[in-house]
Amino acid sequence: MKSGIVAVIGKANAGKSTLINVLVGEKISIVSPKPQTTRERILGILNRENYQIVFSDTPGIYKSVTKLSDFMKIQTEQSAKDVDVILFVLDGHDGVDESDINLIGKYAQSGIPMIVAFTKIDIMEKEKVPLEFAKLKEAGVESEIIPVSARKNKNLKDLLDAILNHIPNGEKIYPDNVISDKSEKFMIAEIMREKILLKYDKEIPHGIAVVINEFKKRDTGNLYDVNLDIICEKENHKAILIGKQGGALKEAVSFARRDMEKFLGSKVFLTTYVKVKEGWRDKEGMLREFGYEKIK
Ligand SMILES: Nc1nc2c(ncn2[C@@H]2O[C@H](COP(=O)(O)OP(=O)(O)O)[C@@H](O)[C@H]2O)c(=O)[nH]1
Ligand SMILES: [Mg+2]
């Protein structure tokens, strides 16, 4: 039996969460085209007969400007410690630049075996892939580099094999039926946040927190009651969130409800309330209140 932990690291938007969802085969982490979608460490667990791999999804790497992003940075740094493999996810179609090379170099220094997943090859010209690889090699990157596409399911078997080469023998850390360290309730809040990330622009989604007040299965019938607060930072954000005659919010909530139903395999009765908490992203107490707990 092989068993180990893989920290998934890389720039914002590289495709870390998408890759983990595909590898684990379930949605354990939300995805959007906007940076800062993932806010904390989330473990996604891949169970097979002869191995267990625990993938640690992370917020990724970017400049910190608020207490929330400080928190996110620490989550990423903590996750890269005491692991068996670092899986560095590189957005291939963006082209390799100096900052990528520096980052890879920084994590290579840790001495932990590293694999580079060169992802999004589905939206790259084929001829460009070897050129970008050459750039990495020339810059002294010694890690194994594997071209993949999470979206088109390309080369994921090769990637898994490369990871497994570095996974030690040992007993499973989690029971077979566990796929994440996060609860269903957490995912329900994240699904709401995902729909807001997809629906709204600029500062709005980054200033949102979702707090679940009620998450309960009814005694009769296959139905969950979910009541949640959507917290935003400013009064004018609240007006934009709600939209003309509530239209914008209604749409986001309806998308969220559908996804929650898919996730829970059950009908969902969803009620939401929008609240303003001025500058919550910079208030330690509110961060804790909204569920951003430090890794123990
Ligand atoms: N074309 C393509 N897009 C991808 C792929 N993987 C992720 N994406 C997109 O890249 C964006 C960021 O993905 P996400 O997983 O949230 O990145 P993260 O911030 O690194 O976790 C989303 O719009 C994804 O749909 C891929 O393999 N191919
Ligand atoms: Mg992510």
Would you say residue 247 has pLDDT above 80? yes
Would you say residue 120 has pLDDT above 80? yes
CA of 17 to the centre of ligand 2 (A): 4
pLDDT for res 63: 82
pLDDT for res 206: 93
Q: Binning pLDDT at 50, 70 and 90, where does residue 60 land?
A: confident
pLDDT for res 42: 96
pLDDT for res 145: 97
Q: Worst-scoring range by mean pLDDT, 198-202, 222-226, 266-270?
A: 198-202
pLDDT for res 224: 98
Would you say residue 238 has pLDDT above 80? yes
Look at residues 270, 289, 268, 276 and name the one whose alpha carbon lies nearest to residue 242: 276
Q: Can you tell me the mean pLDDT for 1-18?
A: 96
Give the ligand with the smallest distance to the CA of 40. 2
Helix (H) or strand (E) holding 23: helix 16-24
Would you say residue 203 has pLDDT above 90? no
For ligand 1, atom 22, which residue shows the shortest CA distance?
A: 33
pLDDT for res 50: 96
| Ligand 1 pocket, Cβ-based, cut-off 6 angstroms | 10, 12-18, 31-33, 37-38, 60, 119-120, 122-123, 149-151
Long-range contacts of 171-178 (CB under 8 A, 24+ apart): 171/1, 171/3, 172/1, 172/3, 172/47, 172/52, 173/3, 173/5, 173/52, 173/54, 174/45, 174/47, 174/52, 174/54, 176/47, 178/45
Would you say residue 295 has pLDDT above 80? no
Would you say residue 94 has pLDDT above 90? no
Of 18, 116, 120, 191, best ligand 1 pocket probe by most atoms within 8 Å of the beta carbon: 18
Would you say residue 221 has pLDDT above 90? no
Contact call for residues 87 and 104 (beta carbons, < 8 A):
no
Would you say residue 2 has pLDDT above 80? yes
Cα 14 from chain centre: 10
Would you say residue 296 has pLDDT above 80? no
pLDDT for res 108: 92
Q: Can you read off the two tokens belonging to residue 131?
A: 């050129």
Nearest atom of ligand 1 to the alpha carbon of 123: 1
Give the ligand with the smallest distance to the CA of 19. 1
pLDDT for res 65: 87
CA of 117 to the centre of ligand 1 (A): 13
Helix (H) or strand (E) holding 92: none
Nearest atom of ligand 1 to the alpha carbon of 21: 15
pLDDT one-digit tens code per residue, 122-138: 999 999 999 999 999 99
pLDDT for res 294: 82
Measured between alpha carbons, how far is 118 from 132 in angstroms, rounded to an integer? 9
pLDDT for res 100: 94
pLDDT for res 293: 83
pLDDT one-digit tens code per residue, 282-291: 999 999 999 9
pLDDT one-digit tens code per residue, 24-41: 999 999 999 998 999 999
Q: Binning pLDDT at 50, 70 and 90, where does residue 202 land?
A: confident
- Per the prediction, the chain carries an average pLDDT of 95
Would you say residue 46 has pLDDT above 80? yes
CA of 236 to the centre of ligand 1 (A): 30
Q: What percent of the chain has pLDDT over 70?
A: 100
Nearest atom of ligand 1 to the alpha carbon of 150: 27
